[in-house]
Structures are given as C-alpha cells and as structure tokens.
Structure 1
Amino acid sequence: MRKLAIAVAVLMSAGPVTTAAQAATGILATHRAVYDLSLKSASERSGISGMAGRMVYEFNGSACDGYTVSFRFVTQVLTGNESRLTDQQTTTFEDVRDRTFRFVTRSFVDETLDRETRGSARAQDGGLSIALEQPEKTTLNIPDARLPTEHLLEMIERAQAGERFYESRLYDGSDGGDTAMITTSILGAEQAPEAGDDEAAAAGDLSDDRFWPVSMSYFEESAEGDGLPVYSISFKLYENGVTRDLTMDYGDFVLEGELAALEMFEPEPCE
C-alpha cells in the first residue's frame, strides 16, 4: 500500500540511469501530508463491507544529504460482523547521487506485529545489489531499477517535458523486498484546479498551483502478455512532489485518499 510515496521510483527508459536525478535534484519539497482514507468500491469476492483510515507521509532531507520518508497507513476493515485494524509503518532513506536505498517496513494486524521487512539496495555493476535482513537474511542481484525518489524525479522531469506515457522498472523494498516491479505511467496535461475543488484548499499555498493528473499501474516482473496489474494508483502531482486526490485500486477493492492537511517544512541547506 505504500507505493504512493509516490510518491515515488526505475529503468526501461532511454538514457543513463542518473539523468533524471541529476536534472531535477533540489526541486522536491520537504513536507508532511495527511490523507483521509475511505472505501470507494469493493467486489463481493473481497468480503469487505467497509473500510476507512488515515495515511501520513513525511518527506525530509535534501539532494546533498539524501531523502528520508516516514510513512504510516492505518485502516479499519469491516468484513461481515468482524473488524480488523491494519497498520503499516515504513521508513526509508535514499541517496539519489550514490543510488543507495535503505528500508524497514512493519505490518501490524490488531496491534500485533504480522510481518517485518528490512534491507538495503545499492546500484552496482549495472544492476541492483540487495541485502535483506528480514524476513530472511540473504543477498541477491537483480536488473537495474529506479529507486523511489529517483523515480519521482524522473516522473516530474518527463511531465515537464510533455511526455504522456512511459514504462519503468521500480524497486522500493515492498512485499518481500526481493524483486522489482514493472510500472506504466500515464501523465496527463498540466491542469489548474477547478472551481469548487474543496480538496485544493487543504493544499495551502499550493491550492492555486497547477498539477499533472497521473495514473500508474504496477505489474509483476514475470507477468506475460496483457495481464492485469497487481495494483494501480492515480493522483494529482505538483511539480514539487506533493500529491493529492488519491485513488488506490487493489483489484477487489478501491480506496480514495483525500488530502486533509499539508505542512511544508523549511528546506534543508544543500552545501
């Protein structure tokens, strides 16, 4: 579910892997965004009768010192007469210059730890070298892929250039942390907020700023043909990396995330 932090990461595009990071470093705004989550739809097969929650995304750091993301995704899930509380907590650090990435994710169900994934990745010899500590200690090498902040920078650069579609390989340490995913991104033309856009007001100083509507789909790397995505997300993206108006499609159910609060931090000096 944290693939929003996206706010954020990949290969299969032309040019050297560092191009986007070199061109766009320094434009990302450090901030804390809070999103209210609600269930948009659910299939009968999902067994879900209701879902609501909150997502908090905090982005700190600089292009010189690296970027830290703290992310928490809490939902109350209703299935028939039962209720389940899920809580996913993720912290990552990424250096876009050295192309290194560290991550830890803990998933709780009803306040009991259900799973922990911890590890790191480093660009090496034209690929990614991954060292996992949890759930099992292991090392492996995979084909090169964009890292989350690197991917966000690339997306902004492509949107600014007027590109509308591209495909990438993304590694963000999700699931077991042992594989990348293929992403397809559709970047809409830059837009101004419409009259009566209540959510825009929550964006504070950004409320009148233009944005790009973005749709992303995530596919298993081993998928063949025109298979269905594992997960899809759409959102409005500002040129400083802030996002709002989220729709997260997990196949059997769809969640909406409305920006409830946005706090912009003072940018860290980059010397």
Structure 2
Amino acid sequence: MFVRKLGFVATTGLLSCLSNAANALPAQLPNLIAHRAVYDLELKDASDRSGIEGMTGRMVYEFTGSACQGYKTDFRFVTQINTGDAVRLTDQQTTTFEDPASKKFTFETKSYTDDKLDKEVQGAASDSDAGVKVDITRPDARQIDLVASEFPTEHMFQVIENAKQGKRIFESRIFDGSDDGDESLITSTLVGKSQTPKDGDAEAGKAGDFAKASFWPVTIAYYNDKTGTDSLPIYRMSFKLYENGITRDLTMDYGDFVLTGKLAKLDILTPETCENKPVR
C-alpha cells in the first residue's frame, strides 16, 4: 500500500540508468493476501508554515484480487484538521483496478471537505514500452501521454522481489492516478534487512496471525519531473512491509507536516482464485 497524497499521494538521464531487470515483473509473482487494514492516524510533527495545530484521522485500505483476474483496491482516508481558527474534515475515497498481465489500470477518486464534494477524478491508463496512455473522463475528458511507468501493485511486486534478493535501493517511475491523474512520479525505494517484531511492539499484535512474522522496513521517496531526485522529495513514506503485502507502522512525510498510521485492525479476506468471479 502506497499512499501519496493527503485529502485527495526532467530526469530522462536518470530513467535511462534504471535497470531493466529491476523494472520487470518477477517470473513468479509474490502471493499478495486479500485483506482490509484499518489505521489510526495522528499528527507527529508540523511546521508553522503548515498552519496545522492538530490532526487525527483514520485510513481504511482494502485489497482483493488475483494475478489472473487483476487487483482491486478500495481506499478511504479521513482526517480532522485543526488550524487553530477552524476544524476541517477531509475525506478521500479511491477505487482502483489493476491488471498486471495487460498493464491496464483504472482509477476513481472523490475528495470531500466538510461533507462537500470538491474534487472528482476518474480515468484509465495502459502501459507499454512506448509509454503510459491516460484517458481521463472526469472532471473533463482528455488524453495524456506519459513515459513508461509502473502501476502500484506492480511496484509492490518489485519492492518485495528486491527485498527477497537483498537489493536495498532502487529507483522506479510510478503512475497511480492520484492528484489530477495526469502525471507520474519518480521514486527512490530503500529496503532494510528483514526483521522480526521486538518485545513490546504492541502494534505487531494487531497483525493477527502475522504478529510474529518477519518484515522489511521500507522507505519510498517521491519526486516530480520539475525537481528530479537532486532536490528534496515532494513526499516520503516509511512502513513495515510483510511478504504478503500487508503494511503497518506508517510514517507519511508531506514536508510541512508528518502523520503516523498505526495498524488498529486487520481482517484477512476470502482469497480470489482463477475459478472465482472477477473482482470487477
């Protein structure tokens, strides 16, 4: 699970240096588990420039599907923001569907502020060696051509595969349909060595059957084409990643403020198989 944005998540030389092996899907895809994870959000830090005095919230992430049918993600991100002068409620609701085999991806996001719809983005994308073609249907119909990129589940496969192989740092370009759905971002991913939960790690107990399972500490930094990787990232996310795709102990750094997300509840869902009905 990779979250880039809150409330709504020129580097040709760099990209040409990326390893083709790093960007390719592994021959045997990791076995991502169908699950619903609920995270409690808290403000960890905020600069004066942010105008934020307090923030709490909840994030719900549901992942279902299979390699032969594609993967569906339902995501909701609700926050209550205290600016000192007012309290604002934001609510982002996103649904995506990704077929790694055909490299097709659909996305729909609705963003609300104080229960009023203030943004809706909907579209579809397909990826090939020539690049990503994006067809946006909302809020206005338009088409965009982007350079070749990975979609979110494909990138998750890559992170897990590199972690298994002991490759600690790699770079990619990702398109996830967030914001206005019209750009991809460069990512730099750092994967730590496999660890097991320490004594006193209360959050690990929320992982149920995986409470004692090993995980990798992962940090992903996101950059746009205007700045490239020579400047500070526009967003950074750190988390503990299990081999089955479950994440916990999130830290989301938006620059002017930082949020933490602690796993509050984990439900393992009925797995999709090739004999089951498609997820969409």
User: Structure 1-normalised TM-score?
Assistant: 0.93
For the Cα contact (< 8 Å) 2:22–2:170, is it kept in 1?
no
Equivalence for 1:62? 66
Structure 1 Cα separation of the partners of residues 217 and 191 of structure 2: 6
- TM-align CA RMSD: 1.8
Report the AA paired with residue 221 of structure 1. D
Q: Secondary structure at the match of 1:104?
A: strand
Structure 1 Cα separation of the partners of residues 265 and 26 of structure 2: 28
**1:228 Cα deviation after fit:** 1.2
**1:20 Cα deviation after fit:** 1.9
Q: 4+ residue runs of structure 1 moved beyond 4 angstroms?
A: none
1:22–1:134: structure 2 CA closer, same or farther, 3 Å change rule?
Answer: farther
CA deviation map 1:134-158 (0-9, x unaligned): 2221112111000000000011000
Unaligned runs of 5+ in 2: 10-14, 276-280
Equivalence for 2:174? 170
Show the 5 A alignment for 1:32-43. Answer: 32-43=36-47
Structure 1 Cα separation of the partners of residues 161 and 23 of structure 2: 12
CA deviation map 1:107-141 (0-9, x unaligned): 10000001011101012452111101122211121
- Pick aligned residue for 1:155 from 140, 154, 159: 159
Structure 2 Cα separation of the partners of residues 198 and 212 of structure 1: 17
- In terms of mean alpha carbon deviation, does 130-139 or 197-206 score higher? 130-139
For the Cα contact (< 8 Å) 1:61–1:67, is it kept in 2?
yes
Q: Secondary structure at the match of 2:44?
A: strand
Structure 1 Cα separation of the partners of residues 26 and 141 of structure 2: 30
Show the 5 A alignment for 1:102-141. Answer: 102-124=106-128, 126-141=130-145
Whether 1:212 and 2:212 are equivalent positions in the alignment is no
1:211–1:259: structure 2 CA closer, same or farther, 3 Å change rule?
Answer: same
**1:19 Cα deviation after fit:** 3.1
Report the AA paired with residue 23 of structure 1. Q
Q: How many residues align?
A: 265
Report the AA paired with residue 130 of structure 2. G
**1:14 Cα deviation after fit:** 2.1
Q: Secondary structure at the match of 2:161?
A: helix
For the Cα contact (< 8 Å) 1:17–1:146, is it kept in 2?
no
Whether 1:203 and 2:207 are equivalent positions in the alignment is yes
**1:262 Cα deviation after fit:** 0.3
Unaligned runs of 5+ in 1: none
Structure 2 Cα separation of the partners of residues 20 and 96 of structure 1: 9
Q: Secondary structure at the match of 2:20?
A: coil
Structure 2 Cα separation of the partners of residues 119 and 246 of structure 1: 28
Structure 2 Cα separation of the partners of residues 222 and 58 of structure 1: 33
